[in-house]
Amino acid sequence: MSNLQITNSLSRKKEVFKPLNPKKISLYACGPTVYDNPHVGNARSLVVFDVLFRVLRSLYDNNVTYVRNITDVDDKIIEASKKQKKKINEITEEITKIFHENCKSLNCLEPSVEPKATNHIKEMVEMTSSLISKGFAYENKGNVYFNIKSFKDYGKLSNKNLDELKAGYRIETSDLKKNLMDFVLWKPSVDEDPGWESPWGRGRPGWHLECSVMSEKYLGKKFDIHGGGLDLIFPHHENEIAQSRCNNNTSSFANYWIHNGFVTINKEKMSKSLGNIITISDAVKKYSGQVVRLALLSAHYSQPLDWNDDLLNNQKSILNKWYNLYSDKQDHNSKIDDILLDDLNTPGFIAKIHELYNAALKGDEKKKIEFNQACRFLGLFSETKKDWEGFKKSKIKVSESYILKKIEERTVAKNKGNFSLADKIRDELLSEGILIEDQKGKTIWKFK
């Protein structure tokens, strides 16, 4: 048994992780709906569950099945298709490709299975039929709804009763429903909208149904951990629990629920209306995937994270420093640190890496090995020192002759006692990504 502890959203407390089967650890994380470029809010989930996957693999000798789905049938995709005048599969294939590139940039391990919703329609129709036959769902004019009053534990994950849920959520109203909170399992498809034949006519599945079907297919009726962003607790995860437990007549679905906090941009919520959405592609292009990854892990996963230039520049400086002790040698016998076992405490682990760095800097070779191991365990040092320096150099827009000219101007200013001008020139170079240092009567420069 491991001493991993995780905060379970279902119990709202930190618990010791006890797997259903130590030889077969099961983890499901909600993946992207492929209608638009993934943003840094999506990246947080990706990186958090990648760290959890690494921790579990280390504890259980790689006996971990990690499932992360792709939602490639959804109303948002249909809307994007009509707006952009593109075919559905053009959009889903293009965004899936970008998503995979983003995962690579962030050095996320590939999941064990990455199922697509459209490849599991048959199982979705079967689960819907089953829920109807068991009295948990009903059909009306080609629509199939789950009757939430048939499930007594509804609202347990979000810790709210039905009245509270009604008050806090924008619900799709329809005269076809028996109860306002009933949710869609299957809906009719019109005209050119994607659709599949079913006992209720041509249609498509509801979003919540997809994850229930795919998690059951690859992990079973009960599994260890289900994760996603905080915004998925209600209605998505609440509805998954309802339909899966009712269909399978089980007392649980996933034993542990892990949710990561929101990402804000300069203290504001990310939204299209505010025009402040930052895509993963843009973030890694500007700062590098490693900087973005370290920034996403700089706060505890359960807490909010504010995304701003100060945060990113700080992480870049940290990596710059750490790369001074980068080693190509890789020791695969590294042991997981207890700090990470305490609810994936990445800020605490990053502080430990700083300590190892400082010890290694004093010439402790053992600490240098441990330092490199710790960085790699967190998914850092994914590129060589040469590549890292090359990336920094590629971001510099000024020439070497310009830098040397500015250094000369600064030297003249200092010799004349004009220190305010000398400081101004230093700051100008710094803003261009050039750091200058005075050493033994000479001025040297390097990339920030």
The partner residues of 187 in beta bridges, in order of sequence, read 204
Considering the domain architecture, whether residues 298 and 352 belong to the same structural domain is answered as: yes
Instruction: Quickly count: other Cβ atoms within 10 Å of residue 134's Cβ.
Output: 12
Considering the domain architecture, whether residues 107 and 232 belong to the same structural domain is answered as: yes
Considering the domain architecture, whether residues 344 and 431 belong to the same structural domain is answered as: no
Residue 251, class by beta-carbon neighbours within 10 Å (0-12 exposed, 13-18 middle, 19+ buried)? exposed
CB distance 283 to 289 below 8 Å:
no
To the nearest 10°, the Cα dihedral for 74, 77, 82, 83?
Answer: 140
DSSP assignment of 320-378: HHHGGG--S---TTPPPPHHHHBT--HHHHHHHHHHHHHHHHTT-HHHHHHHHHHHHHT
DSSP assignment of 131-173: HHHTTSEEEETTEEEE-GGG-TTTTTTTT--HHHHHHHS----
Considering the domain architecture, whether residues 306 and 171 belong to the same structural domain is answered as: no
- CA 369, 372, 377, 378 torsion-angle sign: positive
CATH no. for residue 234? 3.40.50.620
Look at residue 174 in the predicted model and tell me its pLDDT: 83
Considering the domain architecture, whether residues 383 and 424 belong to the same structural domain is answered as: no
CB distance 193 to 10 below 8 Å:
no
Considering the domain architecture, whether residues 166 and 128 belong to the same structural domain is answered as: yes
* Stretch (H or E) spanning 65: strand 64-68
Considering the domain architecture, whether residues 151 and 13 belong to the same structural domain is answered as: yes
Express the helix, strand and coil content of the chain in percent, nearest 5 each: 45, 15, 35
**How many domains are there within the chain?**
3
Look at residue 1 in the predicted model and tell me its pLDDT: 46
**What's the rounded Cα separation, in Å, for the pair 322 and 66?**
30
- Residue in this structure with the two tokens 């459209």, named with its chain if needed: 118
Look at residue 45 in the predicted model and tell me its pLDDT: 97
Q: Are strands 5-8 and 13-16 parallel, antiparallel or unpaired?
A: antiparallel
The partner residues of 113 in beta bridges, in order of sequence, read 67
Look at residue 168 in the predicted model and tell me its pLDDT: 67
Domain that residue 88 falls in: 5-260
Instruction: Quickly count: other Cβ atoms within 10 Å of residue 395's Cβ.
Output: 15
**What's the rounded Cα separation, in Å, for the pair 5 and 17?**
6
Domain boundary among 207, 241, 260: 260
Cα separations in angstroms, 13 against 5, 10, 17, 30:
10, 8, 12, 22
**What's the rounded Cα separation, in Å, for the pair 248 and 245?**
5
**What's the rounded Cα separation, in Å, for the pair 366 and 360?**
8
Averaged pLDDT, groups of 10, the chain, 448 residues long: 88 97 97 96 97 96 96 96 95 98 98 98 98 98 96 94 76 85 95 94 96 98 97 96 98 98 92 87 95 98 96 95 92 80 98 96 94 96 92 78 86 89 87 83 80
Look at residue 221 in the predicted model and tell me its pLDDT: 98
**What's the rounded Cα separation, in Å, for the pair 70 and 116?**
5
- Where are the strands (E) in 234-304, listed by range? 254-260, 263-265, 268-269
Considering the domain architecture, whether residues 438 and 342 belong to the same structural domain is answered as: no
Domain boundary among 216, 231, 260: 260
Considering the domain architecture, whether residues 92 and 13 belong to the same structural domain is answered as: yes
Domain boundary among 238, 260, 282: 260
Quote the tokens at residue 384.
């060589």
Instruction: Quickly count: other Cβ atoms within 10 Å of residue 150's Cβ.
Output: 18
Considering the domain architecture, whether residues 343 and 429 belong to the same structural domain is answered as: no
**What's the rounded Cα separation, in Å, for the pair 39 and 279?**
4
CA–CA–CA angle 38, 35, 90 (5° rounding): 115
Considering the domain architecture, whether residues 253 and 134 belong to the same structural domain is answered as: yes
Quote the tokens at residue 63.
């006996």
Considering the domain architecture, whether residues 346 and 422 belong to the same structural domain is answered as: no
